[in-house]
Amino acid sequence: MGWTTDSEAPLSVAALLLLLALRFCPARGDAHSLSYNFTIDPQPRDDQPWCEVQGEVDQNVFLSYDCGTAQIMYMSPLGEKVKNMSTWETQTVTLRDTGDLLQEQVPDVTPEKHTDKGPLPLQARMTCWREDNGLTNASWEFGFNGQLCLVFDSENGHCTMVHPGGRQMKEKWENDRAVTDFFRMVSMGGCRAWLQAFLVCWEKMLKTSASPTMGPHTVKSTATAIKQITWILPVLVTSFVIIGIIIACIH
């Protein structure tokens, strides 16, 4: 599920060279991420599910789950690999409970200007990840119609509004400890445990696939005709350092 934001971020020359350096000198460790994208439709059509969940590992879709009918579609060999695990049976129950909770929240967190038109479909993305150094963390992202509105940091329990459409959501959940505790429990506990169990099952398959992408990084462009002279020197210095790293790695 791709969110839209209010800014665009073209990569600088130095950033491109850094990506090239990472290509030749891959990071040590074994970083992986597990995400579940929820779409809650408060007014679904007859042939549409009210709750649909898409599972991703390292941003590659591996299954689709219908909360209402409990039907699962395995979208890749990774999904087929875990369908007989006892962990998955427990996980589907948690995903359904999460869908039920989000459905209850929709009327109260819908942006103000859409209240009279009825509640909008709510989109939520739960992600847990393991970094190269072995540390793990988790977060939630919430929005409507592809617009990211609110980010919830599962580690510290803080909500950050990134779009005005998330104002009601933020105000309600900051005063509802039961909801935020549920988000933290599912992401910091359940999701991380699922990721660990899946990696044991997926280890050989993931080693043959592309390196995981933990998420896009955005860089604000500040280049103008007047400022070019001020930033070109550090860019060149950075470029020479990165090129040196690439040469060292190749040899």
User: Are the C-beta atoms of 182 and 95 separated by less than 8 Å?
Assistant: no
Residues paired with residue 130 on neighbouring β-strands, in sequence order: 32, 136
Asked: is 29-207 a CATH 3.30.500.10 domain? The reply is yes
**Model confidence band, residue 46 (pLDDT cutoffs 50, 70, 90):** confident
Q: Residue 241 above 90 pLDDT?
A: no
pTM: 0.71
Rounded to whole angstroms, the Cα distance separating 38 from 58 reads 17
SS3 210: coil
Q: Give the confidence band of 202 by pLDDT, cuts at 50, 70, 90.
A: confident
DSSP H or E run through 23? helix 13-24
In the 8-state DSSP scheme, what is residue 134? S
pLDDT of residue 16: 40
Query: What stretch(es) of the chain map to CATH 3.30.500.10?
Result: 29-207
pLDDT at 242: 41
3-state secondary structure of 140: strand
**76 exposed, middle or buried (CB, 10 Å; 0-12, 13-18, 19+)?**
middle
Beta bridge partners of 55: 36, 63
CA-only gyration radius of the chain, Å: 21
Query: Of 217, 218, 162, 215, which is closest to residue 9 (Cα–Cα)?
Result: 218
Grade residue 209 by pLDDT with cuts at 50, 70 and 90. low
What local confidence, expressed as pLDDT, does residue 43 receive?
83
Token duo for residue 86:
């006892």
DSSP type of residue 4: B
Measured between alpha carbons, how far is 62 from 77 in angstroms, rounded to an integer? 8
Strand partners, 124: 38, 142
Which DSSP letter does residue 113 get? G
Of 38, 139, 179, which Cα lies nearest the Cα of 96?
A: 38
Strand 158-161: give its sheet, edge to edge.
71-74, 60-66, 51-57, 32-40, 122-130, 136-144, 147-153, 158-161
Q: Do residues 56 and 73 make contact, with C-beta atoms less than 8 angstroms apart? A: no
